[in-house]
């Protein structure tokens, strides 16, 4: 019985201490202008650090995408019609599998990119991708397409209905 009383008293003391600190912090925040300024300064520093980290991650992702596209070009693409068909089916299946896992958007987009390179009408395939491929993977694919000057798709940007910006691919808002 004494142990439970001791545990209850300890828990009550800890909760009371946390509550007192919360009240003290709130009072200090509301009344001390220097404290408010330091809180704002710390929040600005944190926001700046998060923004810089996001920019660094974006640059690293662009580099990874560029390297993936370069690797794909170095590997080459099949030229025979039957080989293209088999290659296309393999790459689409690989891309769908990687998207389903959700593990690596760059590798999934690379598989879709490779399939796009051997497809006879890439614009038609892009419209299919727009409806079926997850947004994150589609954005990476759009960057890959933008990096490949040899792939002529017109004005594909990857920002149709899958990207959630503006009208969808049918022109309906």
Write b or e for each residue in 136-162: b if 16 or more Cβ atoms lie within 10 A of its Cβ, otherwise e: ebbbbbbbbbebbeeeeeeebebebeb
Residue 87 is classified by DSSP as H
Task: Work out the angle at residue 125's Cα, subtended by the Cα atoms of residues 121 and 127, and round it to the nearest 5 degrees.
Answer: 120
Distance CA 131, CA 128 (A): 5
- The pLDDT tens digits for 80-89 are 888 889 999 9
pLDDT band at 103 (very low <50, low <70, confident <90, very high): confident
Give the range among 102-106, 132-136, 137-141 with minimum mean pLDDT: 102-106
CA atoms of 77 and 90, how far apart (whole Å) = 13
**Residue 164, by phi and psi: left (phi above 0), alpha (psi -120 to 50) or beta?**
left
Q: What is the pTM of this model?
A: 0.61
């Amino acid at each position: 019985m004494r142990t439970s009383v001791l545990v209850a008293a300890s828990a009550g003391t800890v909760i009371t201490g946390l509550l007192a600190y919360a009240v003290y912090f709130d009072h200090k925040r509301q009344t001390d202008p220097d404290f408010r300024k330091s809180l704002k300064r710390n929040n600005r520093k944190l926001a700046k650090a998060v923004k810089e980290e996001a920019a660094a991650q974006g640059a690293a992702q662009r580099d990874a995408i560029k390297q993936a596209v370069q690797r794909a070009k170095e590997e080459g693409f099949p030229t025979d019609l039957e080989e293209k068909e088999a290659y296309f089916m393999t790459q689409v299946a690989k891309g769908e599998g990687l998207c389903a896992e959700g593990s690596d958007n760059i590798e999934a987009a690379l598989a879709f990119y490779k399939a796009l390179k051997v497809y006879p009408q890439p614009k038609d395939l892009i419209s299919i991708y727009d409806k079926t491929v997850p947004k994150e993977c589609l954005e990476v694919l759009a960057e890959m397409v933008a990096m490949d000057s040899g792939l002529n798709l017109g004005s594909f940007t990857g920002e149709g209905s899958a990207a959630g910006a503006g009208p969808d691919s049918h022109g309906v808002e």
